[in-house]
Amino acid sequence: MSDAFRPHPLIRGAHAQTALPALLRATPHVPWQRETLETPDGDFIVVAHHGPDDGPVALLLHGLGGGLDSTYLCATARRLAALGWHCIGIQQRGAGPEPNRLARSYNHGESGDIAWLLQQLTQRAPERFHAAVGWSLGGNVLLKTLGELGPRAPLDAAMAVSVPFALAPCVEHLTRGPARAYQAYLLRGLKAGLRRKHGPVALPPGADLATALAARDFRTFDNAYTAPCNGYADAEDYYARASCGQYLADIRVPTRIVHALDDPMMVPTIVPDADAIPAPVSLEVTARGGHVGFVGRNDAGLPSMWLEATIPAWLEAQRHGSDAPDAETATETA
């Protein structure tokens, strides 16, 4: 158990840690320079650039329902750009306001898109330091990609936050108690995307749009839509093949994973035993922090976004070949 993160004493609960980062402040403005990349299968993915053109490169992957306007992604991009990094926000296939062309869409297992994007974006400046950061779903798919690529992964460092190491237990957890509120919120966003996308985009055989739009839980939604649109036999096949925990042992890129045991969207039993994870993967499990939350306290006693300080600090340490800074140096005033 890591004590690197200490929650603000008035914001210790898992739900407060999860919800308040989005409520404490407005999303920081980032003047993204957007670029559309045509994929080999005739679709497109939007990426966006911010920061010095000649700096080290940080690829940023949002979570489920997120995008280039996600608060955690924008805040991290601003911090990294101020340190001289060139940030590339990846709006995964079908995640933006404009529907993508094919039924295929981003999901926890869509490592093919991420592997292709890593190759495309790192080849532009192969002499520069390249890192990637993923939150939640973005972290899951990043870790899965790194495990599948092994020593061929074109990155120098990676970091993942609040990842569902095993999807099936998390999906079951989201059907009970207060966790149902998170499920309902995420499903509303996914359904809004489906309404924008279909019917301009035809559904593949086996997909049932009406059932997906009426779904009250992820398993029903994934059986009706995610699985048939993305090459899975059913929801259980999707959860089994997409969960990142089984790929960790094959990662060869220096990788840090930060996860809170009180994450209200997951269950503690999904977290792998840190002793069973070989180098170069570092698993940092904290007692508190919620889901992509980690609200700490600065020297003035005000809430501070610990993640948005520790992510740049750790990436800087990796770039310079030094030890990562301790928690006392990774602070930020909210």
Residues carrying an active site annotation: 136, 263, 291
Q: Find, among 174, 185, 163, 166, the residue nearest to 63 by Cα.
A: 163
For residue 260, report the phi and psi dihedrals to the nearest 5 degrees: -100, 135
Separation between Cα atoms, residue 48 and residue 230, nearest integer Å: 25
**Alpha helices (H) along the chain:** 14-23, 71-82, 111-122, 137-149, 167-173, 179-197, 209-214, 218-221, 227-229, 235-242, 306-320
First to last CA, the chain: 26
Q: Find, among 158, 165, 148, 125, the residue nearest to 59 by Cα.
A: 158
- Assess whether the previous peptide bond of 280 is cis (omega < 30° from 0): yes
By the 8 A CB rule, do 270 and 164 touch? yes
The dihedral built from the CA positions of residue 21, 267, 209 and 104, taken in this order, carries a sign that is: positive
| Paired tokens of 212 | 């997906």
The dihedral built from the CA positions of residue 111, 94, 156 and 76, taken in this order, carries a sign that is: negative
